């Protein structure tokens, strides 16, 4: 995961942790990119709000069990006390609608239990480095089997979206879920860089859909689209010499890469583009339906 461009980390990072349970405490980051993390623990939302009014904390870790109406109220209270705080929720809730509710209340990111070692530090690092993040991801739909968001065409917004959707509940095996998330990241970056021209005034629309047989991502960018037969800068257009596209990219002044579509196609069961070429669906079938 890459940090947002041009972001600078403070020499000391202040982090407030609310209601930390025993399994969370050992994995709290001690330093982020050589910056010391100053961690303060509090019990209960009232104490947390008082500390946020008194001091500035770059990141707040809110440890909750199963998200409820009370959890939503907790987020609102934290942001009322400190509008600039970035709240990362650690939760046992595994319903897609729970994720939508937390994002509606402007949770910066979400980590579902059991938390994979290293992921909390990764999310905290990204949160610290992010700037002007509040409107980067907006929930449009939060149905139990269909989440749709609008993402600003910023690479930092894309990385944050990947961190969030990586935690999405589902019944795919761990490796399969990671493969789908990797494919999603590659296609989302392509959509922002090529479809949205990295213009933060433009938006990408992303849906994640759970079905009985599969888990799917749908991505739509604001670009004019493309033809798969006319991508000389992409590795997928040069199957007999995949490095030939690198020369084309250099001539066009495009950053090194071009393996996104090729990589994604190898990681998912189906990759389907619309006729125009600005919409794509990534499908990963559950093992029993392959």
| CATH number of the domain to which 105 belongs | 3.40.50.2300
- How confident is the model over 50-69, as a mean pLDDT? 85
* Least reliable range by pLDDT among 35-39, 96-100, 272-276: 96-100
Distance CA 279, CA 271 (A): 11
| 98 and 145 together in one domain | no
Distance CA 11, CA 37 (A): 9
SS3 3: coil
For the beta sheet containing 12-18, the strands, ordered from the edge strand earlier in sequence to the opposite edge, are: 31-32, 35-42, 12-18, 59-63, 86-91, 109-112
Question: What band does 179 get if pLDDT is binned at 50, 70 and 90?
Answer: very high
Whole-Å CA distances, 128 to 40, 62, 122, 156, 235? 16, 16, 10, 12, 34
Domain that holds residue 249: 135-290
| 93 and 185 together in one domain | no
The DSSP call for residue 181 is H
Domains identified in the chain, total number: 2
Domain-terminating residue out of 88, 112, 132: 132
Helix locations, 19-147, DSSP H: 45-54, 69-81, 96-104, 119-129
- How confident is the model over 249-271, as a mean pLDDT? 74
Q: How many CA atoms does the CB half-sphere of 107 hold within 13 Å? A: 29
Residue-wise pLDDT tens digits, 219-236 = 999 999 876 555 555 554
Question: What band does 44 get if pLDDT is binned at 50, 70 and 90?
Answer: confident
**5: pLDDT strictly greater than 50:** no
| 202 and 177 together in one domain | yes
Overall pTM > 0.85: no
- How confident is the model over 132-138, as a mean pLDDT? 93
Domain-terminating residue out of 98, 132, 166: 132
């Amino acid at each position: 995961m890459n940090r947002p461009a041009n972001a600078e980390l403070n020499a000391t990072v202040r982090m407030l942790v609310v209601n930390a349970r025993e399994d969370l405490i050992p994995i709290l980051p001690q330093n982020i990119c050589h910056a010391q993390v100053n961690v303060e623990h509090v019990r209960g939302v009232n104490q947390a709000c008082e500390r946020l009014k008194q001091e500035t904390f770059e990141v707040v870790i809110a440890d909750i069990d199963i998200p409820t109406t009370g959890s939503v109220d907790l987020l609102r209270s934290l942001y009322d006390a400190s509008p600039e705080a970035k709240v990362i929720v650690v939760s046992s809730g595994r319903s897609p609608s729970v994720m939508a509710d937390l994002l509606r209340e402007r949770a910066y990111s979400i980590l579902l239990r059991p938390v994979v070692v290293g992921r909390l530090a990764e999310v905290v690092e990204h949160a610290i480095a992010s700037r002007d993040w509040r409107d980067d991801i907006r929930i449009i739909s939060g149905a139990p089997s269909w989440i749709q968001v609008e993402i600003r065409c910023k690479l930092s917004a894309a990385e944050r979206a990947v961190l969030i959707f990586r935690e999405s509940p589902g019944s795919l095996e761990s490796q399969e879920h990671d493969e789908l998330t990797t494919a999603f990241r590659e296609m989302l970056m392509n959509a922002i860089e090529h479809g949205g021209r990295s213009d933060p005034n433009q938006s990408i629309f992303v849906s994640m859909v759970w079905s009985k047989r599969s888990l799917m991502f749908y991505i739509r960018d604001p670009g004019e689209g493309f033809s798969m037969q006319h991508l000389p800068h992409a590795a997928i257009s040069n199957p007999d010499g995949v490095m030939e596209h690198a020369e084309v990219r250099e001539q066009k002044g495009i950053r090194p890469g071009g393996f996104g579509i090729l990589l994604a196609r190898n990681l998912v069961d189906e990759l389907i583009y619309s006729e125009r070429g600005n919409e794509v669906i990534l499908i990963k079938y559950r093992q029993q339906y392959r």
